[in-house]
Amino acid sequence: MGEAERGESAPRVRVSFWCANGHETQPSFATDAQVPDTWDCPRCGFPAGQDRDNPPDPPRTEPYKTHLAYVRERRSDADGEAILAEALAKLRGEI
Ligand SMILES: [Zn+2]
């Protein structure tokens, strides 16, 4: 359905959003619509914001991260020791 079929369309405004990877996307909104604070970047899926110099942080949980990388990132020694102990116990056949 093209704009011609709907007749005169409501005025729209383009708003630029930038993601943490520097991608710019320009969705358009009806002038009376509320523009959201963030917009999902269509190229990488990161959230994008209207402040080019200060884009929203990328999502914390990234699917390609291994469990070990995730544990390391948290820098929790206690958790690390628990996992090591569990791994050692498995090696010894205790679990
Ligand atoms: Zn992006």
Question: 45-77, pLDDT tens digit by residue?
Answer: 999 999 999 999 988 765 666 777 766 776 667
Q: How far is the C-alpha of 70 from the C-alpha of 62, rounded, in Å?
A: 9
Ligand 1 center from residue 65 Cα (angstroms): 19
Ligand 1 center from residue 36 Cα (angstroms): 17
- What average pLDDT does range 66-89 have in this prediction? 77
Q: For residue 23, what pLDDT is reported? A: 97
Q: How many CA atoms lie within 13 A of 4 on its CB side?
A: 0
Q: How far is the C-alpha of 17 from the C-alpha of 31, rounded, in Å?
A: 16
Q: How far is the C-alpha of 20 from the C-alpha of 44, rounded, in Å?
A: 10
Q: For residue 57, what pLDDT is reported? A: 92
This prediction's pTM = 0.54
The helix or strand, by DSSP H or E, that contains position 86, with its residue range, turns out to be helix 77-91
DSSP-assigned beta bridge partners for residue 18: 24, 49
Ligand 1 center from residue 52 Cα (angstroms): 12
